[in-house]
Chain A
Amino acid sequence: MSTEATVILDGVGIKRALTRIAHEILERNKGVTDLVLVGIRTGGIHLARELASRLEEIEGVKIPVGSVDITLYRDDIKTQAAHLPVGKTEIPFSTEGKRVVLVDDVLFTGRTIRAAMDAMMDHGRPQYIQLAVLIDRGHRELPIRADFVGRNVPTSRKENIQVRFDSGDHPVEVFLEKN
């Protein structure tokens, strides 16, 4: 199988996109009151931290960041040949009545987001949940859309999009692989 990788967003582009999303989050929610970020393992957690540090720069307030692992909520669990390792879910604050922004790196079928929302509901009843993603590549299989998008990238199903992070978990680039 030959793979060909194209960089579709570089480090500077990612930074600009995240800064814009941070402003949009503040605008839509009219500030940071009751705002919490929850990243979906593992790429989403790194991006949620990046967003939190931008929000802090802008508003001067620390935003709580949690992480959610969706392995136990997957809808393909019955067809897995062997069950996947389970990651840690860490939400060290109450989400009751909070404005939750779920963060993921790539939005594809929407199945991960469905699982993450179910997981969030088991932790309490938020006021609402919004979704922020760095890349929306289309091909939705569920009625789910993102509230904040870094970049829309039309793809074919055979292609693969990945966000690469450096050793300090900072996003470096987004590349597209054609298989």
Chain B
Amino acid sequence: MVFKHKDILGLQDLTAEEIELLLNTADNMKEISKREIKKVPTLRGKTVVNLFYEPSTRTRTSFEIAAKRLSADTLNISASTSAVQKGETLSDTARNIEAMKPDIIVMRHAISGSHHYLAKRVSYSVINAGDGAHEHPSQGLLDMMTMREKLGTLKGLKVAIVGDIAHSRVARSNIYGLTKMGARVFLAGPPTLIPPGVERLGNVTVCNRMRDAVEDADVIMMLRIQLERQGKTLLPTMREYSRFFGLSRDVVKLAKPGVLVMHPGPMNRGVEICSDVADGADSVILEQVENGVAVRMSMLYHVSGGGPTE
């Protein structure tokens, strides 16, 4: 089994075997971060550009650390401090970067599909670090890595994803990935935040009440309410949202003993998740962050093999 894609734009485009290869490599790369010398020479001489049109701490830092642990050279461009402010188009920015001969570009952009647009126009590899409300494949992979590591397998798991599904690229990548790997996904959230037709994405069940999704679940994944993306009319009040869809200790008790509580961060403590749950024994939120580095090393490693840049 080899990985033949030039780009990783989303988990929708990958097969179960390719996802498994990425996860296996990530499992085996995790050890590198625990060494005295946290670096392998694999991507020596490769240049990785992080191009972020949206704010990010975790994902950008994680990709940068991952690239550095593989010995690649990295540089970061954030839209707020670049020529984007002067009105340069995405296509022009991309072609100018291309002229400087990078090997991989890791991009986050507010517009869904911008990575597909870019990947068709440039010779280097494009990794999607989040495009609008579409996909966030590295997050989906690190979530699956964490579940597989803790529970042994993804097959047959009941995974509850709760919150703002409509605006969540994390939810979409997880739905594509998890259903391909044989898990069952249950979604819960206010009807205004559940996209119509979401069941068509795979083995997905929409629940009206949070407890129906959480009952007997192996994993509870809480999503952030994305205040910056939505209009004001989708939720009456935050307090009401929190009462019906916030994760408290009592709700966790409905799930299987030893349930994994996950959150992609950044958390709104007291809104979608109570602090005692976020910091409690079932929470694997910091393990998710740790696994994020390994998953991104795996992605960078596999896209840099073959392809037109070689």
**Do A and B assemble together?**
yes
Binding site for B on A (CB under 8 A): 69, 72-73, 77-90, 118-119, 121-124
Which listed residue (A80, A118, A124) contacts B41, Cβ 8 A?
A: A118
Q: If A73-B41, A86-B28 touch, does A124 touch B4 (CB 8 Å cutoff)?
A: no
Which listed residue (B2, B28, B42, B306) contacts A89, Cβ 8 A?
A: B28
Chain A residues near B304 (CB, 8 Å)? 83
In the assembled complex, the Cα of A15 lies from the Cα of B164 at a distance in Å of 63
Main secondary structure of the interface of A (DSSP, over half): loop
Chain B residues near A124 (CB, 8 Å)? 36
Which listed residue (B3, B25, B40, B301) contacts A73, Cβ 8 A?
A: B40
Which listed residue (A72, A80, A90) contacts B306, Cβ 8 A?
A: A80
Main secondary structure of the interface of B (DSSP, over half): loop
CB proximity of A68 to chain B, nearest CB, Å: 11
Interface status of B99 (Cβ within 8 A of chain A): no
The 6 closest A-B pairs by CB, nearest first: A83-B305, A82-B2, A72-B40, A122-B37, A72-B42, A82-B305
Which listed residue (B2, B28, B45) contacts A83, Cβ 8 A?
A: B2
Chain A residues near B29 (CB, 8 Å)? 72, 86
In the assembled complex, the Cα of A92 lies from the Cα of B87 at a distance in Å of 54
Chain A residues near B1 (CB, 8 Å)? 85
Q: Is the CB of A80 within 8 A of B28?
A: no
In the assembled complex, the Cα of A85 lies from the Cα of B310 at a distance in Å of 18
Interface status of B35 (Cβ within 8 A of chain A): yes
Chain A residues near B306 (CB, 8 Å)? 80-83
Chain A residues near B3 (CB, 8 Å)? 82-83
CB proximity of A169 to chain B, nearest CB, Å: 19
Query: Contact mask B22-42 → A, CB, 8 Å, 1/0?
Result: 001101110110011101111
In the assembled complex, the Cα of A82 lies from the Cα of B306 at a distance in Å of 5
In the assembled complex, the Cα of A81 lies from the Cα of B70 at a distance in Å of 18
CB proximity of B15 to chain A, nearest CB, Å: 15
A-B contact pairs, 15 of them (CB 8 A): A72-B70, A73-B42, A79-B310, A80-B305, A81-B310, A83-B2, A83-B305, A85-B24, A86-B28, A87-B28, A88-B27, A118-B41, A122-B39, A122-B40, A123-B36
